[in-house]
Structure 1
Amino acid sequence: MKIALVQDGLMCRGGGEQVALCFHKAFPQAPIYTLCYKSDLTFPEFESCDIRSSWLKHFVKTDDTMKKLFFPLGILAMQSHDLSQFDVVLMSGTHCAKYVKVRDSALVISYSFTPFRLAWDPSSYSQYLNATGWKKKLFEYVVRQLRFTDFAAAQRPNHYIAMTDETANRLINAYKIKNSVSIINPPVNVAKFKPSPDPKKYFLVVSRLEYYKKVDLVIEAFNRLGYPLVIVGKGLQANEIKALAKENITFMSDLNAEQLSDLYANCRAFIFPQHEDYGITPLEANAAGRPVIAFKAGGVLTTQIELIGKVAESTALFFDDQTSESLEDAVIRFEKIESEFDPEFIRRHAEKFDESIFIKKIKEYVLGRFYEFYGNKDLSAKTV
């Protein structure tokens, strides 16, 4: 079996990049095709991989720039990747992995996080919401073109894998998928995190500083509470979001794995205000033994054990309304029961989502679909 891996981009340290790294661990001999790759911006483990970037890498230095150039340059750049020599193409992403060239007889499997957000949920971007006049018309034209192009490309995969039932339903509705969509939860590398015997007094957010991540909501709540808050991340709206914060709020970015692990381990609780498709960061906090205070929607409903009964058998306290007031109330409730959370129980829960389990499931899935698809055909390459 001659297999190729495809990832949207390798320009940051996010959940998508973790999935791509696990694909590599499942199939270490397979090359990774991507739009752009910068070794200093993503996980260092990629340096030992056979990574094949598109020509767009010559014009892109940051993840934000790569996203701005996606339409139409990113699409054209991914189309320049010719994978016609491969029997199996395993891709992950949301927007551009699906544009690579594959032969008609190849088995194509897409691990899709969600339908391309700009095409199918443009209102999640403040630039779209706030646009007026000719800018609004231009946005609407681009969105229509993206949706048409994205839908057409999404018809090629033979099989789809989703993160959760919610994201599977989104994929089915957007792309009119006829086959069943399998569910394999994304991984967390539990070994990178260790609980601390003596957590500090700050709360923690790890997130891109974008409109739909709702970091501004957290800042509003903590401006009133006055409690120490550490926010780790970068993004297009970083300057606007930082301008909202009072002196009790600290911003960090460009941390190495050890520094980030230490921040997780020593926080009082991890704050997760967004409706996320899945959300790796709450599980990373769990791996460090820390509880989560999260908006009750999306991926956390799959990955967290909500506080309903015993605190010691819970991993998260949810708040029902996506408002700063609701979050503030949750933080105050958390203070009253903080000491009852069990770091060992929380970490054991995270181990159920460890990358070793994900790698095993992905490898079994791909090999199963391969033998189902090709049967006893004599292929030119037999090695995995």
Structure 2
Amino acid sequence: MRTAIIHDWLVTYAGAERVLEQMLYIFPDADIYSTVDYIPQGQRGFLLDKPVQTTFIQRFPFAEKKYRSYLPLMPLAIEQLDLSGYDLVISSSHAVAKGVLTGPDQMHICLCYSPIRYAWDLQHQYLKESGLDKGLKGWLAKAILHYMRLWDSRTANGVDCFIAISDFIARRIWKTYRRDAAVIYPPVDVDTFNFYETKEDYFLTASRMVPYKRMDLIVEAFKSMPDKRLVVIGDGPEFDKVAAKAGENVVIMGYQPTEVLKEYMQKARAFIFAAEEDFGITPLEAQACGTPVIAYGKGGVSETIIGLDGENPTGIFFPEQSVSAIVDAVDLFELEKERIRPGACRNNAMRFAPNVFRQKFSEFVDQYI
């Protein structure tokens, strides 16, 4: 059986690419397609060093850095890929990959990280953060996103089976496409995060500093709790804004290598997370270290952290993205911390190990081939 895997774009090794890597372990003979491929030699191990067939966008000026600027052309580009010779087509999609054309005798399974976020329920937030909520450019952006929604809805009909990365995304798929989706949680490389039971006297937050991560709220909350120490790891466009809100008890470390992040994560009293994520890998990495998580209780993390109302809790949820809610959650953690055991955190994280993903994904595909 000939198999093709189509991925939106290949420019880095991040969460979606880790899923693609596990797919290739299951289907090592699969051919890979993508709109663009700019993964350098020497970093292509997760692709099994296989060649990638790309679209005409690969040859466009400045596409290596500005590939997202060609988003309006990506539906056309993805439809030009000829996958008619394959029995099984797997799309790894958060944007356009699921729009590849397939025939009635081909099985098309889409692992959907999310319907196109910036075209659907997050459109207004995206436009505002990009400065495209008004003016001529704003109207042009809105027209393009309207076109993307029409195309995205139509191409959902070409998918035989949807897989969502969380119940949260399954609900978004139903809302957007009116299609049911099985849920298979993505793989987290938990074995590379060492379990550490002895904790030191600081809290940790770590993320790329972009608006929706709400790192500013976390820093501001700890500024109002001068008796508690916070370590902040990460960089990004909001770095200066976040740093300006830090008090003397907040240490802003900026970008740090992975090994440094792991060391701080292992020894932190708790990891603080204020974003609404589709899944949320970092809170699971913290739990793999035996570190509890204090998180905004919406989105995928509500499925990957066990709250105080569950058996063997691994963290605490706060109900809204606000300074006061974070402060209240930290206070509650101080009262209930003895109930949250490092071993329970580690055991919970192991449910998301790569071998679990491979087993469940293989079993799902086997139902249809």
TM-score by length of 1: 0.83
For the residues of structure 2 that align with 1:224 and 1:260, how far apart are their CA atoms?
25
C-alpha change, 1:262 and 1:136, in structure 2 (3 Å) is: same
- Give the drift of 1:327: 0.6
Does residue 334 in structure 1 map to residue 319 in structure 2? no
C-alpha change, 1:14 and 1:88, in structure 2 (3 Å) is: same
Deviates more, 1:36-45 or 1:82-91: 36-45
- Give the drift of 1:3: 0.8
For the residues of structure 2 that align with 1:268 and 1:217, how far apart are their CA atoms?
19
For the residues of structure 2 that align with 1:146 and 1:294, how far apart are their CA atoms?
32
For structure 2, the 5+ residue unaligned runs are none
Structure 2 residue identity aligned to 1:35: T
Are 1:124 and 1:212, in contact at CA under 8 Å, matched by a contact in 2?
no
Are 2:161 and 2:181, in contact at CA under 8 Å, matched by a contact in 1?
yes
For the residues of structure 2 that align with 1:44 and 1:255, how far apart are their CA atoms?
20
Query: Partner of 2:19 in structure 1?
Result: 19
- Give the drift of 1:2: 0.9
C-alpha change, 1:73 and 1:318, in structure 2 (3 Å) is: same
Identical-pair percentage: 32
Query: Partner of 1:268 in structure 2?
Result: 269
Are 1:208 and 1:233, in contact at CA under 8 Å, matched by a contact in 2?
yes
Q: Deviation digits for residues 328-347 of structure 1, max 9, x if unmatched? A: 22123323444553211211
- Give the drift of 1:103: 4.1
For the residues of structure 2 that align with 1:216 and 1:195, how far apart are their CA atoms?
29
Deviates more, 1:244-253 or 1:361-370: 244-253
Query: Partner of 1:154 in structure 2?
Result: 156
C-alpha change, 1:239 and 1:14, in structure 2 (3 Å) is: farther
C-alpha change, 1:57 and 1:134, in structure 2 (3 Å) is: same
Are 1:13 and 1:41, in contact at CA under 8 Å, matched by a contact in 2?
no
For structure 1, the 5+ residue unaligned runs are 371-384
Structure 1 residue identity aligned to 2:333: F
Matches of residues 70-109 of structure 1 in structure 2 within 5 Å?
70-109=70-109
Query: Partner of 1:205 in structure 2?
Result: 205
Query: Partner of 2:318 in structure 1?
Result: 319
Are 1:185 and 1:358, in contact at CA under 8 Å, matched by a contact in 2?
yes
Are 2:296 and 2:318, in contact at CA under 8 Å, matched by a contact in 1?
yes
Query: Partner of 1:382 in structure 2?
Result: none
Query: Partner of 2:31 in structure 1?
Result: 31
Does residue 7 in structure 1 map to residue 7 in structure 2? yes
C-alpha change, 1:320 and 1:134, in structure 2 (3 Å) is: same
C-alpha change, 1:210 and 1:66, in structure 2 (3 Å) is: farther
SS in 1 for 2:208: coil
Are 1:230 and 1:252, in contact at CA under 8 Å, matched by a contact in 2?
no
Query: Partner of 1:163 in structure 2?
Result: 165
C-alpha change, 1:146 and 1:157, in structure 2 (3 Å) is: same
For the residues of structure 1 that align with 2:186 and 2:36, how far apart are their CA atoms?
22
C-alpha change, 1:362 and 1:194, in structure 2 (3 Å) is: same
For the residues of structure 1 that align with 2:71 and 2:11, how far apart are their CA atoms?
17
CA RMSD, 1 decimal = 2.9
Are 1:292 and 1:316, in contact at CA under 8 Å, matched by a contact in 2?
yes
For the residues of structure 1 that align with 2:53 and 2:262, how far apart are their CA atoms?
30
Are 1:93 and 1:112, in contact at CA under 8 Å, matched by a contact in 2?
yes
SS in 2 for 1:29: coil
Are 1:305 and 1:315, in contact at CA under 8 Å, matched by a contact in 2?
yes
For the residues of structure 1 that align with 2:71 and 2:132, how far apart are their CA atoms?
20
- Counterpart pick for 2:255 among 248, 253, 256: 253
- Give the drift of 1:240: 4.6
Query: Partner of 1:374 in structure 2?
Result: none
Q: Deviation digits for residues 130-159 of structure 1, max 9, x if unmatched? A: 722334323322221121122122221111
C-alpha change, 1:309 and 1:299, in structure 2 (3 Å) is: closer
Query: Partner of 1:286 in structure 2?
Result: 287
Q: Deviation digits for residues 113-137 of structure 1, max 9, x if unmatched? A: 2211111021232336772233432
Query: Partner of 1:124 in structure 2?
Result: 125
Query: Partner of 1:184 in structure 2?
Result: 184
Structure 2 residue identity aligned to 1:6: I
For the residues of structure 1 that align with 2:341 and 2:41, how far apart are their CA atoms?
34
For the residues of structure 1 that align with 2:163 and 2:18, how far apart are their CA atoms?
16
- Counterpart pick for 2:174 among 165, 172, 175: 172
Query: Partner of 2:363 in structure 1?
Result: 364
Structure 2 residue identity aligned to 1:279: G
Matches of residues 25-64 of structure 1 in structure 2 within 5 Å?
25-39=25-39, 45-46=45-46, 48-52=48-52, 54=54, 55-57=56-58, 59-62=62-65
For the residues of structure 2 that align with 1:40 and 1:338, how far apart are their CA atoms?
45
- Give the drift of 1:204: 2.6
- Give the drift of 1:72: 1.8
Q: Deviation digits for residues 177-222 of structure 1, max 9, x if unmatched? A: 2xx4212122212211112244344433333332222222222223
Deviates more, 1:148-157 or 1:38-47: 38-47
For the residues of structure 1 that align with 2:243 and 2:11, how far apart are their CA atoms?
23
Structure 2 residue identity aligned to 1:294: A
Aligned length: 362
For the residues of structure 1 that align with 2:43 and 2:232, how far apart are their CA atoms?
20
